[in-house]
A and B are shown apart, each in its own frame.
Chain A
């Protein structure tokens, strides 16, 4: 069964460093998403991506964040200068389309900023 994969599973970084979280969506999917979950809090939408551009982003997704689909298979989330409050589980998701199409989630990357 096709699945969304994410690497690394756990990333530890120093405050101020840049991190790139990687995702491989399901191959025929067209819509891509990043969500995050701070420990003990709800899963929050960060950004959606379609046709090589951002479709929508939340207020969390400020200038420190960027997304890219550098090739036909990867979808990345970059945090330019990490802050302590960026520590969270980051989930990638993909879907075939909108509305009634299921979003498939990856297992997540736990980011720890020291």
Chain B
């Protein structure tokens, strides 16, 4: 069965600093990988996804993520964070069966931005 590990529960960075959120996955086949963001009181919003091809994927809000098969990782990065980036970030792996895509999520990383 697939699984996702996000080793950092809470990260604090200064506004304007760079950011990297870690994600490791376990899945027997080629993974479909996602990063979602959840702001307080909001649903989960897709930041970016990887299915195949270029291992560096660009997403919304200036985020990018790099798929590294050898490390089973899909880390999320942003060169310069903004105060509005404060939120909970979830990494997920998609498993396809019976025509449906089931997402398995990590426990999330809460990002705090300090001025």
Contact = CB atoms under 8 A, between A and B. Distances in A.
A43 B90 contact: yes
B43 A95 contact: no
Interface in A38-86: 41-45, 48, 50, 55-56
Interface string B1-31: 0001000000000000000000000000000
Contacts of A102: 46, 49
Contacts of B51: 99-100
Contacts of B92: 43
B103 interface: yes
Given A42-B106, A99-B32, A100-B51, A105 B101 contact: no
Contacts of A103: 46, 101, 103
B43 A106 contact: yes
A28 interface: no
Nearest to B90: A43
A107 B99 contact: no
Contact of A44 (B41, B98, B105, B108): B105
Nearest to A100: B51
Contacts of A99: 32, 51, 96, 101
Report, as a range, how many residues of chain A touch the other chain: 20 to 34
B84 interface: no
B43 A42 contact: no
A13 B36 CA distance: 30
B42 A107 contact: yes
Nearest to A107: B43
Interface of A: 3-4, 31, 33, 35, 41-45, 48, 50, 55-56, 91, 93, 95, 98-108
28 contacts: A4-B43, A31-B100, A33-B100, A33-B102, A41-B107, A42-B90, A42-B106, A42-B108, A43-B103, A44-B105, A48-B100, A55-B98, A55-B100, A56-B98, A56-B100, A56-B102, A98-B96, A98-B99, A98-B100, A98-B101, A99-B51, A99-B101, A100-B51, A102-B49, A105-B36, A107-B41, A107-B42, A107-B43
